[in-house]
Amino acid sequence: MHTFRRSAALLALSIGSIASLPALAADELHYNQIALRAEVSQEVARDLMIVTLYSEAQDADPAKLAAQITTTMNKALGQARQVKDITLRQGSRNSYPIYDTKGQKITGWRERAELRLESSDFAALSKLTGEMLGDLKMAGMDFAIADPTRKTSEDALLKDAVNAFKARAQLATDALGGKGYKIVNLNLNSNGYPQPYMRAPMMMKAASMDSAPVTPEVEAGTSQVSMTADGSIEVLMQ
């Protein structure tokens, strides 16, 4: 009986010693480790122009109103399709009732439909927008970074971020008197590209009141984008 208890105690001790090995290995893994962060940024041109136009009207007859809006939007789509390098996206279309002063009886209907135009050719889109303001109204003019430009800038920033991290890692290694370092982990994160920059459409509204189409002057500007490299290194001592 005593022999069994002694054997069980030895077995428990052995299992406990084996279980502690991963913990010891984990402690050794973090020996001489330093957390580092590097960030790089650049100015990227907003090279995509986005214009949102809409048609809005009201009528006592909802069917007549819908036909009127459809005719106006079809004309606008046909006009826009004649211009090269313009991407067309039909936006929301909503219809809702208009009530009397007491809010009990429907006296008419109001409907609104949107058309979104996108292009990297600012001159062509500006000219088209001025021409279409005879039938449509301006909801907004935005500027964003086009997808190909976004990818190119992300690739460049990624390389710069890695190089900046390596430079900082070498600086830390030299400060500690190490003979070298190895990267334990590294995470690269973009700060995300900014939302489209919206330009107030007041100038466009003024242009729509003139009898002749007016081409708006636009200046898209740039956005600053950045990428960070977060990670840790293990310094190899002399």
Output the domain CATH number for residue 54: 3.30.70
Is 163 domain-assigned? no
Q: CA gyration radius for the chain?
A: 32
pLDDT, residue 237, reads: 87
Contact 113, 73 (CB under 8 A): yes
Contact 86, 80 (CB under 8 A): yes
Is 19 domain-assigned? no
Q: Which residues does residue 89 pair with via DSSP β-bridges, in sequence order?
A: 116
pLDDT at 37 over 90: yes
Is 72 domain-assigned? yes
Q: What would the pLDDT profile of 100-144 be if each residue is shown by its tens digit?
A: 888 889 999 999 999 999 999 999 999 999 999 999 999 999 999
Read off the pTM: 0.67
Query: What percent of the chain has pLDDT above 70?
Result: 76
Strand bridging mode 33-45 / 222-237? antiparallel
pLDDT, residue 14, reads: 42
Is 94 domain-assigned? yes
Is 38 domain-assigned? no
Mean confidence (pLDDT) of the chain: 82
Nearest to 113 by CA among 132, 97, 95, 88: 95
Nearest to 135 by CA among 64, 208, 218, 231: 208
Tokens of 118: 């996108």
pLDDT at 57 over 70: yes
pLDDT at 59 over 90: yes
Q: Pick the range with the lowest mean pLDDT from 35-49, 72-86, 197-211.
A: 197-211
Is 180 domain-assigned? no
pLDDT, residue 108, reads: 94
Total of domains in the chain: 1
Domain boundaries, position 125: 48-145+195-221
Q: What would the pLDDT profile of 152-188 be if each residue is shown by its tens digit?
A: 998 999 999 999 999 999 999 999 999 999 999 999 9
Residues 6+ apart with CB under 8 A from 111: 56, 57, 58, 62, 65, 66, 69, 93, 94, 95, 96
What is the arithmetic mean of pLDDT over 7-12? 42
Q: What would the pLDDT profile of 189-223 be if each residue is shown by its tens digit?
A: 987 655 555 554 444 444 444 455 556 566 678 88
Is 227 domain-assigned? no
